[in-house]
Chains A and B, each alone.
Chain A
Amino acid sequence: MFIRMIRGALVRQRGKMFLIAFTIALGASLATAMLNVMLDVGDKVNQELKTYGANITVKPNSSTLLSSLYDVEDEGEQIETAYLNEEDVSKLKTIFWAYNIVDFAPFMKMAVTLEDGNEAEAVGTWFNHHLDLTTGESLDAGVVSLRSWWEVTDGSWIDEQNDPVNTIMVGRMLAVRQGWNAGQTVTLTGPRGSEEVTIAGIYDAGGDEDEQIYAPLDLVQKLNGLDGKVESIEVSAITTPDNDLAKRAAQNPAALSAADYETWYCTAYVSAICYQIQEAIPDAVASAVRQVAESEGSILDKTQLLMILITILSLIGAALGISNLVTASVMERAQEFGLMKAIGAKDYSITGLVMIEILITALVGGVAGYFMGFGFAQLIGHSVFGSAIEMKVMVIPIVVVLIALVTAAGSLPAIRMILRLRPAEVLHGSKT
C-alpha cells in the first residue's frame, strides 16, 4: 500500500514531479559539467599556456653559479665559461616526466659582423630538428613550435630537413635597417671565419628578438668554434601548479620526508621536472621561468574558483526551485497528510513518504542531469579548448552526494511544514 501511495502520488502529481526532476537535472548537469571541466581543465590550461613558450630553462652549472654570484642574468657574453653538450639535449626525453615535455630547443648566442661592419646578435638553435630517441620515439623539436606566436612576414620558417645549413631567419627591425629580404644572400663573420648565408624568412617577434638573427645551431657553433656545445636549453613542459609541497621541495628536496619526496617526485611539479632534468643532464641547472609557472597556477586557480562558484550557485538555485515545488506539493496535499495523521500516521512516516517521492524524482533528474552535464562538458571542451573533456569517474559520487544534499536542503521547508501540520486545522471544514 505504501508503494502504491508513492506511485499514485508520483503519477497524480506528474507535472510537479517533472518540474522537480527538471530542476534537479539542471543543477546536476551544471555540477557535472563544471566538475568534469574543472578536473580536466588543469591539463587543458597547461596545454594552452604551452603555446606561449618555455617554462623551464637549463643552463650549465658554473654559468648559473657565476650569474647568481654577480647578479648578471642574461649577460652571458661577459661570463661565458661553461657549455652544455648538444648530445645531452635529447636526454630531456628520458626522464620520468618525458611525456610532459612537449617541446625544447638548445641555444647559443654570439656576436657576428655584418657586411656593412655593424654587429648583430646571432642565436643558434634548432628549428624543427628531427630526433630519433633511444626510447624508439621520434620527434621534431625547436623554435618553430616553441615560438609559435612569431609571425613570419616574409619567406618562411627554416626547414632543417630540407634547407641547407647556411640559411638564417632575420628579425624584422634588423632586416628593415639592413634592407634585407627573404631569399637574399648575405655574409656573416664570426671569430672563426665567415659564412655566406641565405635569408629564409623575416620574422616579427614583437620584442628584442626583432634585432637578432636566428640561425641553425650548427652554423653558429661553426662561426664560434664551439662544435657540439650549447649555452642553454629552453623547455616547454606540462606541469602541475605548485602547492606547499612543491614550494618546500623547490627549496631543498633533501629536506622532505620519504613519503613527501615520493609524492613530489611522482607529480609533475615544475620543480620535480627541473630536478629530474638535472639528474639526466650532468652539470646542468634547470630552473623554472617563474612568471610562466605562476601564471599557470594563477589562471588555473581562478578558472577552478569560477567553476566552483558556478557549481555552488547552480546548486543553490536548484535547491530553491526544489524547495518551492516540494512545498507547493505538500500544501496541495495538506488535507491528505492531515487525514493520515488523524488516523494515526506518525510524522516521520509522512515525511518518509514525501522524501521517497522526492528522492525517486531526484534520482531520475540526477541521472538525466549527469548525462546532460557530460554533454555540456564536451561542448565547453570543444568550444573553449578545442578538444573533448575526459569523463572523470570520481565526478559521479560527488554529483550523487551534491544532489542528495541539495534535494534534502530543498525539502527542508516542506518537511518543516509537515511536522507543523495540525490535523485539526486542515480537516476542519476541508473539501477535496
Chain B
Amino acid sequence: MELCAQQIAKWYHRRSDGANRFFAVKEMSFSACSGTLTVLTGRSGSGKTTLLHMLGTLLRPDQGKVLLDGRDLYSMDDRELSRFRNSRYGIIPQGYTAVRSLTVLENILLPVKMYGRGKDVLSGPDPAKQEAQRLLLRFGMADLSDEYPDRLSGGEQRRLAVARALAGKPPVILADEPTGDLDDENTACVMEELRKAADEGAIVVVVTHENDALSYADYSWRMNAGYLAAEN
C-alpha cells in the first residue's frame, strides 16, 4: 500500500478580494509505503499540519492529488470519503479531543463501532477491544477505562487519542504532535507503539517538533515555509 501526494499545494487568501495569496504548502509531492514510519519536522507555521490534513482527507488541496493505492481520495463524495476515512485511517489530532459523553474505552472503540464494525465490541472478546485494553495498559491508563474524558489530564487525553487511532489497526496512521506535553517515558511508549504499527504493516506519518521521534523513523522530512525537504 502506498500513500502518495502528487504536486499538491494549499493556499489561503489573506484579503477578501483574492489578493495576497499565502501558501501554507507549496507545490510538492510526497509518498509513504506500508511498513514505514515517516517523521515530518519543521518550525511552527511551516505547513506540517496542513500537509498531514491533506494526506488524511481532512483538507482538500487547492492543487494536485492524494492517492492511496492509486485511488484519488478527493474524487470521492463526502459520504464515501467519510466511510473510507473510518476504515483506512487512524488520525491523531493535535489537540486534546474526545467525545465527552463517552468513557475512555468507548472513545477508543468509537471508530471501530461507528459503522457497525464489531457490534459487540464492548461486551465480547473482540480483537479491537483487546487491543484497546492492551494500549490502555501500555499507556498506564488501565484503571481509567471507565472514566470520562473530563476527568483526564492533558497527557492522558493525548494518549487516549493515540490509543483511539491504533486500536482498530488501520492501514494508515497520521499523528499530529502525538507526544506533545508528554514526559520522556510516555513519549517513548507512544513512539514505540507507532513504530510497532508500522512494523505490522501500517503507513505511519508523524508530525512533530521533537527530535527524539527521529530515532523511530524510517524516513524523515523537514518542512520549511511550505517546502518539503528530505532529511533522511
Q: Which residues of A come within 8 Å of B, CB atoms?
A: 1, 4-5, 7-9, 11-12, 335-336, 338-347, 422-424, 427-432
Instruction: Give chain A residues whose Cβ lies under 8 Å from the Cβ of B97.
Output: 335-336, 338-339, 427, 430, 432
Please state if A343 and B95 are interface contacts (CB–CB under 8 Å).
Answer: no
B41 at the interface (CB under 8 A from A): no
Please state if A422 and B86 are interface contacts (CB–CB under 8 Å).
Answer: no
The residue of chain A having its C-beta at the shortest distance from the C-beta of B110 within the complex is: A343
Q: How far is the CA of A423 from the CA of B89 in the complex (A)?
A: 14
Instruction: Give chain B residues whose Cβ lies under 8 Å from the Cβ of A336.
Output: 97-100
Please state if B82 and A341 are interface contacts (CB–CB under 8 Å).
Answer: yes
Q: How far is the CA of A341 from the CA of B100 in the complex (A)?
A: 15
Known A8-B102, A342-B58; further 12 A-B contacts with Cβ < 8 A: A1-B122, A12-B100, A335-B95, A335-B97, A336-B97, A339-B93, A344-B85, A344-B115, A347-B82, A424-B50, A424-B58, A432-B96
Instruction: Give chain A residues whose Cβ lies under 8 Å from the Cβ of B85.
Output: 342-344
- Closest approach, in angstroms, between the C-beta of B208 and any C-beta of chain A? 15
> Contact partner of A430 among B93, B99, B101, B115, CB < 8 A?
B93
Q: How far is the CA of A429 from the CA of B96 in the complex (A)?
A: 8
Q: How far is the CA of A292 from the CA of B93 in the complex (A)?
A: 76
> Contact partner of A340 among B53, B94, B95, B99, CB < 8 A?
B99
22 contacts between A and B (CB under 8 A): A1-B110, A4-B102, A8-B102, A11-B101, A335-B97, A336-B100, A341-B82, A342-B93, A343-B85, A343-B91, A343-B164, A344-B85, A344-B89, A346-B78, A346-B79, A424-B50, A427-B93, A427-B97, A428-B95, A430-B93, A432-B95, A432-B157
Q: How far is the CA of A335 from the CA of B106 in the complex (A)?
A: 17
B178 at the interface (CB under 8 A from A): no
Q: How far is the CA of A341 from the CA of B82 in the complex (A)?
A: 7
B111 at the interface (CB under 8 A from A): yes
- Closest approach, in angstroms, between the C-beta of A17 and any C-beta of chain B? 13
- Closest approach, in angstroms, between the C-beta of A341 and any C-beta of chain B? 7
Q: How far is the CA of A5 from the CA of B101 in the complex (A)?
A: 5
> Contact partner of A422 among B58, B102, B114, CB < 8 A?
B58
- Closest approach, in angstroms, between the C-beta of A173 and any C-beta of chain B? 83
Instruction: Give chain B residues whose Cβ lies under 8 Å from the Cβ of A347.
Output: 78, 82
Asked if A9 meets B101 with Cβ closer than 8 Å, knowing A342-B85, A345-B114, A428-B49, the reply is yes
Instruction: Give chain A residues whose Cβ lies under 8 Å from the Cβ of B99.
Output: 5, 336, 339-340
User: What's the count of A-B pairs with C-beta under 8 Å?
Assistant: 100
Asked if A1 meets B106 with Cβ closer than 8 Å, knowing A336-B100, A343-B86, A343-B114, the reply is yes
Please, how many residues of chain B have a CB less than 8 angstroms from a CB on the other chain?
37
Q: How far is the CA of A306 from the CA of B139 in the complex (A)?
A: 66
Please state if A344 and B111 are interface contacts (CB–CB under 8 Å).
Answer: yes
Please state if B95 and A12 are interface contacts (CB–CB under 8 Å).
Answer: no
Please state if A429 and B101 are interface contacts (CB–CB under 8 Å).
Answer: no
The residue of chain A having its C-beta at the shortest distance from the C-beta of B177 within the complex is: A429
- Closest approach, in angstroms, between the C-beta of A396 and any C-beta of chain B? 33
Instruction: Name which of B82, B84, B86, B111 has the most chain A CB atoms within 10 A of its CB.
Output: B82
B76 at the interface (CB under 8 A from A): no
- Closest approach, in angstroms, between the C-beta of B121 and any C-beta of chain A? 9
Please state if B91 and A1 are interface contacts (CB–CB under 8 Å).
Answer: no
Please state if B110 and A12 are interface contacts (CB–CB under 8 Å).
Answer: no
Q: How far is the CA of A428 from the CA of B10 in the complex (A)?
A: 15
Please state if A422 and B82 are interface contacts (CB–CB under 8 Å).
Answer: no
Q: How far is the CA of A340 from the CA of B102 in the complex (A)?
A: 12
- Closest approach, in angstroms, between the C-beta of A361 and any C-beta of chain B? 15
- Closest approach, in angstroms, between the C-beta of A193 and any C-beta of chain B? 98
Please state if A344 and B94 are interface contacts (CB–CB under 8 Å).
Answer: no
B59 at the interface (CB under 8 A from A): yes
B87 at the interface (CB under 8 A from A): yes
Would you list the 5 A-B pairs with minimal beta carbon distance, nearest first? A8-B101, A344-B86, A430-B95, A427-B93, A424-B59
Instruction: Give chain A residues whose Cβ lies under 8 Å from the Cβ of B115.
Output: 344
Q: Which residues of B from 90 to 132 have beta carbons under 8 Å from A?
A: 91, 93-102, 106, 110-111, 113-115, 122
